[in-house]
Amino acid sequence: MAYSEKLIDHYENPRNIGSLDKNSEDVGTGLVGAPACGDVMKLQIKVGADGLIEDAKFKTFGCGSAIASSSLVTEWVKGKTIDEAETIKNTDIAKHLALPPVKIHCSVLAEDAIKAAIADYRAKTKKAE
């Protein structure tokens, strides 16, 4: 199977691997999994006082497409508001990386992970109010 250059680049040089402090008030953590293939993905965002996402990190145990999808999402969300980040669609990820049809579910995982991270951040800020 031929993979796109962008996919291979994200897989071989993943951006933003790592962790942020999940207990911090300005960090939202999304943890999602795809049990059918045993993948697990953690995606975190750190939101600045101006409401923009200033940092994003991920850790993914899964196939190359899952790693590339989460790497791409962390790159995309930086500098965006959470409302903007929430509009990222798995189809955009799949298109950008030219994921083969059997790997589309990896982009679904990444979309669900960013949504979960945003939901976690919102729940935290709501509690703090």
Partner 1 sequence: MDHFARLGLPAALDLEPASLDRAYFALQRQWHPDRFVAKPAAERARASAEAAALNDAYRTLKDPLSRAVYLAELKGVEMPGDGKTIDDPELLMEAMEAREELHDAGSTQAVDALAAKVRADMKASLSGLGSLFLAGDKPAIRKALLRLRYLDKFAEEARARRMNLERSTA
For position 123 contacting partner 1 by CB under 8 A, the verdict is no
For position 17 contacting partner 1 by CB under 8 A, the verdict is no
Nearest to 42 by CA among 23, 57, 52, 54: 57
106 flagged as catalytic: yes
Number of residues this chain uses to bind partner 1 (CB under 8 A): 19
- Shortest separation between residue 119's beta carbon and partner 1, angstroms: 9
User: Does residue 18 come out as left (phi exceeding 0), alpha (psi in the -120 to 50 range) or beta?
Assistant: left
For position 61 contacting partner 1 by CB under 8 A, the verdict is yes
For position 32 contacting partner 1 by CB under 8 A, the verdict is yes
CA distance linking residue 8 with residue 6, whole number of Å: 6
- Shortest separation between residue 59's beta carbon and partner 1, angstroms: 7
Q: Which of 12, 37, 89, 95 is catalytic?
A: 37
Residue 27 · residue 46 · CB < 8 Å: yes
- Answer positive or negative: Cα dihedral of 122, 48, 30, 23: negative
For position 38 contacting partner 1 by CB under 8 A, the verdict is yes
CA distance linking residue 91 with residue 88, whole number of Å: 8
Q: Which of 43, 67, 68, 109 binds partner 1 (CB under 8 A)?
A: 109
Binding site for partner 1 (CB under 8 A): 30-38, 40, 42, 59, 61, 104-105, 108-109, 112, 116
